[in-house]
Chain A
Amino acid sequence: MWMIDLPPFVPFFIAALLALITRGRVRNLIVLATPVLGGLYLWLDVTPGIVTTIPVLEYELILMRADRLSLLFGYLFHIAAFIIAIFALHVRDTTQSVSSLLYAGSALGAVFAGDLITLFIFWELLAISSVFLIWARRTERAIRSGMRYLIIQVSSGMLLLAGAMVQYYQTGSLEFDFIGLEGISGWLIFLAFGIKCAFPLLHNWLTDAYPEATPTGAVFLSAFTTKVAVYALARGFPGTELLIYIGAVMTCFPIFYAVIENDLRRVLAYSLINQLGFMVCGIGIGTALALNGTVAHAFSHVLYKALLFMSMGAVLYRAGTIKSSDLGGLYKSMPKTALLCIIGACSISAFPLFSGFVSKSMILAAMIQEGYDYLWLVLLFASAGVFHHAGIKIPYFAFFANDSGIRTREAPVNMLIAMSIAAILCVFIGTQPQYLYALLPWEVEYWPYETTHVLSQFQLLFFAALAFVWLNKLGIYPREMPAVNLDADWLYRKLLPDTTRSVYGFLKQTGHRIEDTFDSTLKDAAKSMISTRLGRFNLAASWPTGSMAFWLAVILGLFLLADAMN
């Protein structure tokens, strides 16, 4: 029965090998067929409770642990891999084809991992396979940014391994279940997950690297890494109250950055952190409704975020730039992309009838239920904010605003198809949430469409839009301009190198100064010694050795004399 219990990453790894040796249509077929067949296998053959292990030395690696939580992420990753594969179908780059298959496979490996060592292996494979999607841009910036990304991601894996080893030492178990913040191992693993989940101050690898990836690579990146982290947190740390506060910070601070950011894919990267914040809050609350909300939100998030990244990828591909100061008026050349982008924008903003609405509201409802009224206000603020920067700013400055004069062609057909599928799914989930709800891991009665909820959400969003229009009309809205906005990465991109450089410079200078001081002292000493009597016998140039030689000669002479006298 081995075939039936095949871990879901295996087909992707085999496909990656095949993609390495094939070209053209055959490779396209492999890239498309893998998520379809893998997804069908998961849907039809894998039921909760299936466990696949392989023995390694004295230890059993749990390669597949299927339950409702891992399965839902499994379905999601197959759908995402399929849609993005269509989007990237025009790309003739072996590096990207192979690494994206390895990357998707690693994500599947991680969510089905039943023990911490298996998780660690796929955790690191995620990092290593995905960095090539950044490097494949083949620019100096991308290579540097990818290197920073890799260092941070691999460090996250190291923390995970350290945590796993401590846990094994203390409990004798490596099983990956509830971990909690008990003891050093819990904190190490929490930090490892936190880096990948872009916790505040640990988040800059995301906003740094994703916008430097290739137009298609960024879409892949937006789907997998951070959602694996959300899954891992949901499995290891549900109900950890600290997460509610971390999540609340994550929903808010990126909004301000997103408003003043010029690179539209970086705006999306900041809004990705904002959306992760909602999920992290849900994990922190930890009730069945909240966790269902987190998982549902991860599901809809991957789809609308991919849709938004795809639309911006299409703009970058066609217009050659993604700087909002250079864009505008693209609806004239790319009306279909514009429309699809607006659907993604409506979904992320959680407009009723779109996917974000039916998933995010569960987290907010759970927050009220558990009595976090103040934090609910914070999340409401963030909900208005996400509409502002992702819902309005992205489509407005790319496709409307002032006409930049850029005239290009509509996105390629494969891109339009991929975006359309994602858009259809966004509307389908939004209008028919019962199908997604039926897949959620916990049994909870919830229905988002009731008068109060729909009305209040419309009011919130339309008045947020009104504020945008008003601020724009009055000229208060910040102008789009090319700039770098300092974030926590300033610490390691500027402060640390600059400090190292200046400390090195200081030491070097001090070294010279010490050398100079000694030099002159020695010269002075030499002068005074040369003027001594030894100078006459050429022994004063190096006084200590000279005198030593002199006295040695004297002693030897005396010794010889004494010997002769005997």
Chain B
Amino acid sequence: MNEPVQKQHLFDNPRNVSLAIGSLYIVCILLFLLDFILHRHATSEWDGFTGFFALFGFIACVTIVLAAKQLRKILKHKENYYDVDD
């Protein structure tokens, strides 16, 4: 996993990071294209159209993060919030 001499670790090299992210992009593209090649039968009344799961996964996660950021504005307090007055 690492080059022992210089203690250069796997992701210390920016090229490896790009490689990992690049592979993710490629896998995503392939998975999306597979929807056109393989027959994916609809399991519910929603997922009949091509790319449903890809789109759903992406949008779900973006929604979660954006909503959580808003939630943080309301919920976030100092770390010792409950310790005060104790």
User: What residues make up the interface of A, taking CB atoms closer than 8 Å to B?
Assistant: 141, 144, 255-257, 259-260, 329, 331-332, 335, 365, 368, 373, 376-377, 380-381, 384-385, 388-389, 400, 451-453, 455-471, 476-478, 482-487, 493-494, 497-498, 501
A462-B31, A484-B82, A486-B75 as given contacts; A377 in contact with B57, CB under 8 Å = no
A148 to chain B, nearest CB (A): 10
Q: In the complex, are the beta carbons of A459 and B57 less than 8 A apart? A: yes
**Which residues B1-59 have CB closer than 8 A to chain A?**
1-2, 7, 9-11, 21, 24-25, 27-28, 31-32, 34-35, 38-41, 43-47, 51-59
A485-B72, A485-B75, A486-B77 as given contacts; A462 in contact with B46, CB under 8 Å = no
How many Å lie between the Cα of A388 and that of B53 in the bound state?
A: 15
A397 to chain B, nearest CB (A): 14
Size of the B side of the interface (Cβ < 8 Å), in residues, is 56
**From B32, B47, B51, B65, contact of A478 by CB (8 A):** B65
Q: In the complex, are the beta carbons of B24 and A465 less than 8 A apart? A: yes
The residue in A260, A373, A451, A493 that gathers the most chain B C-beta atoms within 10 A of its C-beta is: A260
Q: In the complex, are the beta carbons of A483 and B76 less than 8 A apart? A: yes
Q: In the complex, are the beta carbons of B58 and A464 less than 8 A apart? A: yes
How many Å lie between the Cα of A47 and that of B57 in the bound state?
A: 44
Q: In the complex, are the beta carbons of A469 and B21 less than 8 A apart? A: yes
User: What residues make up the interface of B, taking CB atoms closer than 8 Å to A?
Assistant: 1-2, 7, 9-11, 21, 24-25, 27-28, 31-32, 34-35, 38-41, 43-47, 51-62, 64-69, 71-72, 74-83, 85-86
Q: In the complex, are the beta carbons of B77 and A484 less than 8 A apart? A: yes
B23 to chain A, nearest CB (A): 11
**Residue in A closest to B81 when the chains form the complex, CB atoms:** A484
B73 to chain A, nearest CB (A): 10
Q: In the complex, are the beta carbons of A466 and B58 less than 8 A apart? A: yes
Q: In the complex, are the beta carbons of A256 and B68 less than 8 A apart? A: yes
Please indicate the chain B residues that have their CB under 8 angstroms from the CB of A460 in the complex.
Answer: 53-54, 56-57
Between A and B, 16 residue pairs with Cβ closer than 8 Å are A256-B71, A331-B9, A335-B2, A384-B60, A456-B47, A458-B31, A459-B51, A463-B55, A466-B24, A466-B28, A467-B57, A471-B61, A478-B68, A483-B78, A485-B71, A494-B82
Please indicate the chain B residues that have their CB under 8 angstroms from the CB of A465 in the complex.
Answer: 24
A331-B9, A477-B65 as given contacts; A464 in contact with B72, CB under 8 Å = no
Q: In the complex, are the beta carbons of A485 and B76 less than 8 A apart? A: yes
Inter-chain pairs besides A257-B68, A331-B9, A380-B56, 14 sampled, C-beta below 8 Å: A260-B69, A455-B53, A456-B43, A463-B61, A466-B28, A466-B57, A467-B58, A467-B65, A469-B24, A471-B65, A476-B69, A483-B76, A483-B79, A484-B82
A129 to chain B, nearest CB (A): 26
Q: In the complex, are the beta carbons of B53 and A463 less than 8 A apart? A: yes
Q: In the complex, are the beta carbons of A467 and B46 less than 8 A apart? A: no
Please indicate the chain A residues that have their CB under 8 angstroms from the CB of B34 in the complex.
Answer: 455, 459
**From A458, A467, A501, contact of B61 by CB (8 A):** A467
